Amino acid sequence: MFITRTSLPRRTFLRSAGATIALPLLDAMVPALSAAQRTAAAPVPRMGFFYVPNGMYLPSFHPAGSGGTDFELTPTLKPLEPFRQSLTVVSGLSNANLISSSEGGGAHSRPHAGWLNGVLPKRTEGSDITAGKTIDQYAADRLGADTPLRSLEITTESNYTVGNCEGAYSCSYINSTSWRSPHTPLPHESDPRAIFQRLFGDGGTPEARLAQMRADRSVLDWVTESVHRLERRLGAADRRAVGDYLDAVRDVERRIQRIESSHAATPLPALERPAGVPDTFEAHVNLLLDLLVLAYQADVTRVSCMQFGREQTGRSYPEIGVPEGHHNVSHHQRDPHLTAQYTKINTYHMSLFAKMVEKMHATPDGDGTLLDRALLVFGSAIGDGDQHTPIDLPVALVGGACGRLKGGRHVKYPLNTPFMNLGLTLLDKVDVHVDGIGDSTGRLTNL
């Protein structure tokens, strides 16, 4: 493809014999725009949350010292060394209100359900699950308003487990990291093929996929009318549940309309679909993260939430010399062998995340890179996995947030500073302003 001095439309595609790929923002797309359009073409942030289960071995994560720029990368952080200037390590933050002395069990469910909302979840095995709207979904309210996909939730493990998973807590509390409302956990998809279809359609010709989207919309209209008739016969609790469902249906409708609008003058992407879930964990994670980078690059979505695994996962990692199960080694009781195995798992997860960071660093976006625009949060809802405590949480922030986050630092706050204070601060950096989340007490300074 040859690009001349003639300005390009924002929705321009590279086409070859087997693929059509949306271009990111280019300088050639800007000159002919009006002043209002230039404002709209300003750099936009991408926000992502990356969750690892079973906590971490904190001495291998938190840098020594009281903070600053002169800190030594710990073993778990070492994979991010090439991107040190884009890395901000935060320590001292906690979700202390998720510790419940009145409720037995739920040592994994409570921290996980409250990681991104700071809300102690309701102990229940039924359908009356209650937690809180998560940070990523506050971000999606604004950042997802102009993209085909409001947000993207992905995982490496099945999230279809139902019933009681731990101590009379519903499995919903560890199935989902992202909650759209206090009663609506969002499903996380593990199949790369299904994710691809959400991002770029269901194969076939672009025309066939557009026709299918229109057909899907007419079905959704029919469902909406049917539910309206049904809800007249329902009680208050059921009407609330139906209302949440209809909100999700309307979001799909709006997404379909945005896709149709954005592709009015150009065909939908015709990329090759993945065949399904890869055989190995590493291949699976790499493919999921590659899809996410592509979604960010094509501006299909700007908000994501990924689980590297569900809480209590017993996955073993013989490929890195850890034949023991992850959950088992997290209960290390300071045994040197188990802490070494635990650290290997933590570092392995970080190394896979670092591959995505490298791709974003190498991907242009306007006059910068995707990493310059991004605000990525890597961490866990549990600090010390041996004690199940949501105290002194491991937090790594990566990216420049469109110039609003300075990297190359270790920022240390007083122990038990609310993690939700970080949530408010990060939302401010992507121009999403919320008065409070969970147990927040204000914004963080020096970040």
What Rg value do the Cα atoms of the chain yield, rounded?
22
pLDDT digits (tens, 9 = 90+) for 320-375: 999 999 999 999 999 999 999 999 999 999 999 999 999 999 988 888 999 999 99
What are all long-range contacts of 317-322, with beta carbons under 8 Å and residues at least 24 apart?
A: 317/281, 317/344, 317/345, 317/348, 319/280, 319/281, 319/282, 320/344, 320/345, 320/348
Domains in the chain: boundaries = 23-29+42-196+274-429
pLDDT digits (tens, 9 = 90+) for 217-258: 544 455 555 556 666 666 676 666 556 545 644 554 565 456
pTM for the whole thing?
A: 0.81
Residue 311 pLDDT: 94
Measured CA to CA, the distance from residue 83 to residue 407 in angstroms comes to: 9
Bigger pLDDT: 81 vs 206: 81
C-alpha torsion sign, points 117, 353, 390, 65: negative
Measured CA to CA, the distance from residue 285 to residue 155 in angstroms comes to: 9
23-29+42-196+274-429 to CATH, choices 3.40.190.290, 3.90.45.10, 3.30.420.40, 3.40.720.10: 3.40.720.10
- Check whether 98 has a pLDDT greater than 70: yes
- The rounded Cα 174 to chain-centroid distance in angstroms is 15
CB 115 within 8 A of CB 381: yes
Looking at every residue in the chain, the average pLDDT score rounds to 82
- Mean pLDDT in residue range 259-274: 52
